[in-house]
Amino acid sequence: MTTDRYLVTGGAGFIGSHLVHALVARGLQVRVLDNFSTGKRENLAGLDREIELTNGDIRDPDTVTRVMVGVTHVLHQAALPSVARSVANPRESHEVNASGTLSLLLAARDAGARRFVYASSSSAYGGSPELPKLESMPTRPRSPYAVSKLAAEQYCRVYHELFGVETVSLRYFHVFGPRQDPGSPYSAVIPRFITAHLKGERPVVHGDGGQTRDFTYVENVVHANLLAAAVPGVGGTVFNVGCGERISLLDLLSALGDLTGNHPEPIFESPRPGDVRDSLADIGQARARLGYEPIVPLSEGLRRTVAFFGRPEPGRHDPVPVGSAPVMN
């Protein structure tokens, strides 16, 4: 009987570390590959004896080949995030997000991995005003980041069609939660807003604040990954992973103000190049074929995230409970 072994790329990062904790909690064998460019060792605190950890880069073929030996499931989270970063350095975004994914697909095919779950992005849809976003819609990426994520998604489809690798691409919609880094100049909006509220500082809004997002708590993304790794008959498929609801940035600021007790006036700056105006996931296909349902609504996710960022530093890296999902056999 073959023992399942899971490789989590970017496993020391925000989403990846939540996946690692969830897999370990289910008693599964876990291998982590991370180059710690954005990931943090403290995100995996307490797991030293539970996981195999390799400090390496997905762009290095020798490293990727070595860590893929014996792997049955790949949960590929490693990426160079941020639209703004990709506008500043498009070549690096492509090399990590597209070429790095191709390197992993080659190694997964040669190692005989059964399932390859890829963290794609809702940015692939681009700026089309049509809502909600359906997986069947044309893609019109507006940034090098979005292009690189879509290119990797297409590599996944081709590797399923040509080589039989069971790839599943999950288009994440604006993921947030504990362990997300608020300090980077490329950090996502929710950790930046929460940090500003807790410090009593004025949050910066790029645009007029009327833009809307389908914000997705990280536990929902973990749930979707576990389903995508387990459900049969979904190879070569793309699924939206969101909550199917949207909120404007101004309403988000108001909700965070209620949670923190601070209501600072925002600073409005020019919209950032490559950003989309509105985003909303249609999750019908994920419901029908994966059995996916959002298990943590936005309001509860915001409450948990504010509580996390309000903790003293030593408690920041405690594992966050993960909702129920099937154990993969």
Which position among 118, 125, 145, 159 bears the catalytic label?
Answer: 145
Which residues, in sequence order, are bridge partners of residue 268? 205
Give the whole-angstrom CA distance, residue 84 versus residue 204: 15
Closest alpha carbon to 254 in 211, 304, 197, 298: 197
Largest CA distance in the chain: 60
Give backbone dihedrals phi and psi of 8, rounded to 5 degrees, phi first: -110, 110
Contact at 8 Å (CB) between 37 and 13?
no
Contact at 8 Å (CB) between 22 and 322?
yes
Locus of tokens 């069947």? 136
Any idea of the CA torsion for 77, 300, 85, 116, to the nearest 10 degrees?
10
User: Is 6 among the residues known to form the active site?
Assistant: no
Give the whole-angstrom CA distance, residue 234 versus residue 84: 33
How many residues are recorded in the chain? Answer: 329
Give the whole-angstrom CA distance, residue 220 versus residue 217: 6
- Residue 42's contacts (CB-CB under 8 Å, 6 or more residues apart) are 316, 317
313 three-state secondary structure: helix
Q: Which residues are identified as catalytic?
A: 145
